[in-house]
Amino acid sequence: MNRFEGHGVLITGAGRGIGAAVAHRLAAEGAHVLITDIDVASAEKVAGEIREQGAVARAFFCDVGDRAAVEAAVAHAVEEFGRLDVLVNNAYACHPDADLFEDEDDEAWARDLDLSLTGAYRCCKAALPHLVASGRGAVVNIGSVNGVQDFGNHAYSAAKAGLISLTRTLAGHAGPRGVRVNLVAPGTVRTRAWSERGRNPDAVRELYPLGRVGEPADIAAAVAFLASRDAAWVTGAVLPVDGGITAVNTGFRRTAP
């Protein structure tokens, strides 16, 4: 399939994990992809991998906490590709919870909200005129099951819940202008973020009705659907890609008398 032939795409936080998988998936379907990240070396590595497959990819620095950096990234995408059709807001921050809520650090809380929620706001604001001009614009936000249920991480969860609300309100605003806005809510996904914290995501696989944790490619497939014309009549949607964990309490079912 080449559902994104000739599409210009910008993905934030795409130097690794879910963002990198999304970049590979959309590029494989014909997209011209701008891979943005604060870690430019990682972004360059992903872009190089995609170019080796014969697709078009560029890397660019973007700190979603900096409005000027966001605007520069959007402008660069339009300059490189001649248009911007798809924005994928994947960048985030997530600090560990304090043992007691009252001991939460205000600066860490503010950073999680700024990068995970306000960062997406900045990107949407900068990209929207170009998405409108494309005539087929789409925004896909990467949320989390944390925005729907309690899985810990107070600030991150609040930010992802806010991102769900932003998705819906922006869908209502942008829909009449021809731009669709949707959100993918992943459950536990096997990324480097787990190993960096010394944790094994497979430790929770039995909590999932489908018996495994997610892979970045699972999320990328959902993003590709929502960004494509296959989802032409879908906007304001929250799509759980979570192995069923928000639908079925497997742990309770297994232990209940």
Q: What is the pLDDT of residues 51-97, one digit of tens each?
A: 999 999 999 999 999 999 999 999 999 999 999 999 999 999 999 99
| Per-residue model confidence as pLDDT tens digits over 173-210 | 999 999 999 999 999 999 988 777 778 889 999 999 99
Q: Can you list the domains of the chain with their CATH numbers?
A: 8-255 (3.40.50.720)
Please state the three-class secondary structure of the chain as a single string. Answer: CCCCCCCEEEECCCCCHHHHHHHHHHHHCCCEEEEEECCHHHHHHHHHHHHHCCCEEEEEECCCCCHHHHHHHHHHHHHHHCCCCEEEECCCCCCCCCCCHHHCCHHHHHHHHHHHHHHHHHHHHHHHHHHHHHCCCEEEEECCHHHCCCCCCHHHHHHHHHHHHHHHHHHHHHHHHCCEEEEEEECCECCHHHHHCCCCHHHHHHHCCCCCCECHHHHHHHHHHHHCHHHCCCCCCEEEECCCCCCCCHHHHHHCC
Q: What is the pLDDT of residue 178?
A: 98
Asked whether the predicted pLDDT for residue 257 surpasses 70, the reply is: no
Active site residues per annotation:
156
Tell me the average pLDDT of the chain: 96
pLDDT in tens, 221-238: 999 999 999 999 999 999
| Residue 253 pLDDT greater than 80, yes or no | no
